[in-house]
């Protein structure tokens, strides 16, 4: 299959961490016709606006990276927002893509789709085999619906809509909000402030024993484009009509205690790290089985400590901006 570098590609969510990395990756590979729209230009929650946008542009491919995302606190505090916004964004974009003849689409989900106590590492066929983690169940349900929406268009209309399920992502452009961010930016912000203020200790939520896998966003972008460029017959050999998603991760994990120690070292914080077991841990372990993706010819290339250093350098360089988030 010849890759068309002049295809009109709509990247939904290009201002987000993942979407911006995908745009950068596409441009680096020579794609010359990338379509984006800021929120004031296109509200993805507005079905008619999305349909009008697709009507106005001859779009060939879509990367659906737009989503409402957040950490445990945000998911637990705003469950209605997380399920409603994500369901609507997905339905609007995927539905409009089909109605306007877009044959190729990539949907970005999340590893939280898998059961809380799924066997480790989690294989794609663990989907819908058990109870989800309660703190992010609404978000997970929305992402599962996105997978099934893509599968249903493929089965009924012979579309080529592919789904990738990333592990925990981090990197430049992440959300460093004090309460609504994921674990890496949250810890990075707290260790940085503690260093600046001379605090003798930093308290970290939970016991520190849960294990998590982390993938740099630039690796995620590379994997996403790799998946989209695969010939249909190659892709079809690794998926099935009703199990069509692929895991994206690095294949290894660390404890939250180990992660906190790494971040403190990268930031240069020399105080004590104290864990609060009265706060929720979330899922005990989340490690993805990435053997399918490896068979498709891709594996992660950015080591965690290198990626953390890269992320911290970006955070310090954009300190005024990220504090306003």
- Catalytic residue numbers, as ranges: 139
Q: Are 229 and 3 in contact (CB under 8 A)?
A: yes
By CB atoms closer than 10 A (0-12, 13-18, 19+), residue 282 is: buried
Q: What is the DSSP letter of 113?
A: G
3-class state of residue 321 by DSSP: helix
Please name which of 59, 44, 27 lies closest in space to residue 90, comparing C-alpha atoms. 44
Q: DSSP string of 15-66?
A: TSHHHHHHHHHHHHTT---EE---TTT--TT-HHHHHHHHHHS---EEEE--
């Amino acid at each position: 299959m010849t890759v068309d570098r002049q295809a009109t590609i709509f990247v939904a969510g290009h201002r987000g961490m993942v979407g911006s990395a995908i745009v950068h990756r596409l441009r680096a590979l020579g794609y010359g016709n990338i379509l984006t729209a800021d929120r004031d230009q296109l509200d993805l929650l507005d079905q008619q606006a999305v349909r009008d946008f697709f009507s106005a542009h001859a779009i060939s491919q879509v990367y659906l990276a737009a989503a409402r995302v957040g950490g445990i606190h945000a998911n637990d505090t705003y469950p209605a927002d997380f399920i409603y916004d994500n369901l609507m964004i997905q339905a609007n974009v995927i539905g409009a893509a089909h109605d306007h003849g877009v044959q190729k689409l990539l949907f970005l989900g999340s590893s939280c789709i898998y059961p809380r106590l799924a066997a480790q590492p989690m294989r794609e066929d663990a989907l819908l085999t058990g109870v989800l983690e309660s703190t992010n169940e609404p978000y997970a349900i929305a992402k599962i619906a996105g997978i099934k929406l893509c599968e249903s268009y493929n089965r009924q209309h012979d579309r080529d809509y592919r789904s990738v399920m990333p592990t925990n992502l981090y990197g430049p452009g992440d959300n460093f909000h004090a309460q609504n961010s994921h674990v890496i930016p949250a810890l990075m912000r707290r260790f940085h402030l503690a260093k600046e203020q001379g605090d003798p200790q930093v308290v970290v939520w939970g016991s520190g024993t849960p294990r998590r896998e982390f993938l740099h966003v630039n690796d995620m972008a590379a994997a996403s484009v790799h998946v989209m460029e695969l010939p249909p017959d190659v892709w079809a050999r690794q998926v099935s009509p009703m199990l069509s998603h692929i895991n994206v991760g690095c294949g290894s994990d660390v404890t939250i205690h180990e992660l906190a120690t790494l971040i403190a070292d990268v930031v240069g914080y020399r105080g004590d790290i104290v864990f609060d077991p009265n706060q929720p841990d979330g899922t005990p372990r989340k490690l993805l089985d990435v053997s399918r993706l490896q068979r498709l010819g891709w594996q992660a290339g950015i080591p965690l400590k290198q990626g953390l250093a890269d992320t911290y350098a970006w955070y310090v360089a954009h300190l005024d901006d990220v504090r306003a988030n």
